[in-house]
Structure 1
Amino acid sequence: MPQYSYSQSLKIMLIPYIIIGILWFPLTFLIETYYDSILISQFLVIQITTAFLFLIGFYYNNTSIYDIYWKIAPMFFVPYWSKGSGNMILPVLVYFYCIKQNYTYFRFWPGLQYEDYRNVAVKQQYPNPMIFWPIIYLGFEVVPSIMIFLGHLPLYYAFISQNPCTFAYNFSIIFTISAIAIELIADYQLFPYRSKLLKGDCDVGLWRYSRHPNYFGECMYWWGQYLCQLSFGFENAWTIIGAACIQALFSFYSIPDMETHLLKKRETYATYKKKVVSSFIPWFRMEK
């Protein structure tokens, strides 16, 4: 892989997203001339822009060009869904979540030499480009793009609904704010360890009670979206599919895979794992 400076890497990473930002609504209006549905238009725009980012990543031979997409796309389609609803709180929360996620990502991002270890593992397992790149596109880009759409789908029905249960609605807002705060605090506490400023296992703050409090906050955010929609009634309760799929992804893939990775990476992690017994929900420690 060619070596790029940080400034070159930043341009290569961000310019495709600037292009996506410029083209998002023209693409939306074009699609809506054929399909009079903002759900269909936004789903198709998400898939078109995902394919565009895949081609950019393929050109630069870097799978992590896509990494920030799921933290960018909601900043376009959620406000579009909210138009005419008069609801400003939910789009603001989505923006705050996305900005926080991007800030956390770029805080440690070293440049284009970085690729997610999971993508690297797939490349090592399937070195044939004819196999590797389709796996990356379908499994690591198309599927997450569908998940961010489904995860935020409850908000669409919240925007077009009226007269929520005030208590339930306010609770969902507080729940979502708490989720973002938990993930923000967890990321802040992890940063010195992730950036190699400190060595060893992060065993401070939230990390003393959960091995993955950032994942806990992340999943709480998606359940917050669903709880918000649920405050308007049970008519669209089926939108639980988004939060449920994301929860399943973290519970059955992301957390076990990260645990395996950390056990291989650090010998001390096995001891940390015995002390911090919960891999997800913050819980009591076991010191002995």
Structure 2
Amino acid sequence: MSRLTVGPDLVATLLVFAASMLLRNASVYDPYWSVAPPLIVVGWIAAAAEDGVVLRQVLVTALVTVWAFRLTANWARGWSGLRHEDWRYRQLRAQTRGRLPWWLVNFTGIQLMPTLVVFAGLLPGWPAVAGDRAVGPLDVLAVLVTAGAIGLEAVADDQLRRFTADPANRGRICDRGLWRYSRHPNYLGEIAFWCGLWLFGLAADPSWWWTLVGPLTVLTLFVGATIPLMERRSLDRRPGYAAHRREVPMLLPRPPIRRRIPD
């Protein structure tokens, strides 16, 4: 447990924060939280020395790396240079101007909090790479959940990208493909990814069951902050979104509700 430290992650976050202040752009942080996890996992494998099961270590490292590469590439597609700053950060800057110093808001709300949330989600990765139980059926389930989650995110992001790229869809609600059954299928995939990682940890060392706090922390962030923020924006910008919310579930998919046409 002494080798499980958040210190290097926090130091790196401080460096990224300093760069964001120098460049006056909080979005400098955006690629960091998806790049850091595979590096942390590799560091944990090195710290575990001869502990752990090699096959499980390879599986966990490969899946976390694929997740990180896909997510970072998805961010890069929407990045237009150092002048580009996420609309959420601009909104937060405007809402806190005159009440709180921007450096404090930037560090705590935009950079430190995501670092801690992602580290919490990654906690099951330690027993996953250091635990010595043989690979078994629970690992198979973990692979299916984690790989399926990455695929779900990839498909959902691609469908949304294609929808928004069509000028005819400006101001419209994406209700095609996976988005027909869930308002946020990409976020569902993200939450499922961390649940899959927890299954790896549980398979390797059941005494670390309490690292369930990791995926629960990620779930709390999405349900308590990220999704409400996105939904308020959609309610303001897209007519009919209130009705869309009544017909399509937030996360867990179900067939869309068919509105009854009056006789």
Partners of 1:266 and 1:147 in 2: CA distance: 30
* Pairing 1:177–2:142 present: no
8 Å CA contact retained: 2:187, 2:251:
yes
Name the structure 2 match of 1:272.
Answer: 244
Shift of 1:145: 0.7
Matched residue, 2:72 = 102
% identical aligned pairs: 30
Does the CA-based 8 Å contact 1:211-1:279 persist in structure 2?
yes
Residue of structure 2 equivalent to 1:75 = 38
Unaligned runs of 5+ in 1: 1-35
Q: Secondary structure at the match of 1:284?
A: coil
Higher relative contact order (CA 8 A, sep 6+): 2
- Which stretch shows the higher mean deviation, 113-122 or 255-264? 113-122
- Report what 1:138 is aligned to: 108
Give the aligned length. 250
The answer as to whether partners of 2:122 and 2:214 remain within 8 angstroms in 1 is yes
* AA in 1 matched with 2:199: L
For structure 2, the residue ranges without an aligned partner over 5 or more in a row are none
Q: What is the match of residue 253 of structure 1?
A: 225
Offset from partner CA, 1:215-254 (integer Å, 9 cap, x none) = 0000000111111111234311111111111101111111
- 1:123-134 to 2 correspondences below 5 Å: 123-128=93-98, 131-134=101-104
Q: Which digits, 9 at most, give the CA deviation of each residue in 1:203-223, with x for residues without a partner? A: 111000000000000000011
TM-aligned CA deviation for residue 134 of structure 1? 0.3
> Could you state the TM-score of these two structures normalised by the residue count of structure 2?
0.89
In structure 2, the residue matched to 1:18 is none
Deviations 1:37-81 (A, max 9, x none): 4322xx111111101111111111111100111111112111121
Q: Root-mean-square deviation (CA), in Å?
A: 1.9
Question: Residue 165 of structure 1: CA displacement?
Answer: 6.2
Question: What does residue range 25-104 of structure 1 map to in structure 2 within 5 Å?
Answer: 37-40=2-5, 43-83=6-46, 84=49, 85=52, 86=54, 87-104=57-74
Look up the SS of the partner of 2:123 in the other structure.
Answer: helix
Shift of residue 137, structure 1, vs aligned partner: 0.4
Note closer, same or farther for the CA distance 1:113–1:201 as it changes in structure 2 (3 Å cut).
Answer: farther
**1:178 to partner: Cα distance:** 0.4
Q: Is the 8 A contact 1:164 1:233 kept in 2?
A: no
**Distance in 2, Cα, partners of 1:255 & 1:117:** 15
Residue in 2 aligned with 1:281? 252
2:91 aligned with 1:121, yes or no? yes
In the TM superposition, residue 100 of structure 1 has moved relative to its aligned partner by 0.4
Other-structure match for 1:28: none
**Contact 2:128–2:205 under 8 Å retained in 1:** no
Instruction: Check whether the contact 2:121–2:214 (CA below 8 A) recurs between aligned residues.
Output: yes
TM-score (norm: length of structure 1) = 0.81
CA distance in 2, matches of 1:238, 1:70: 23
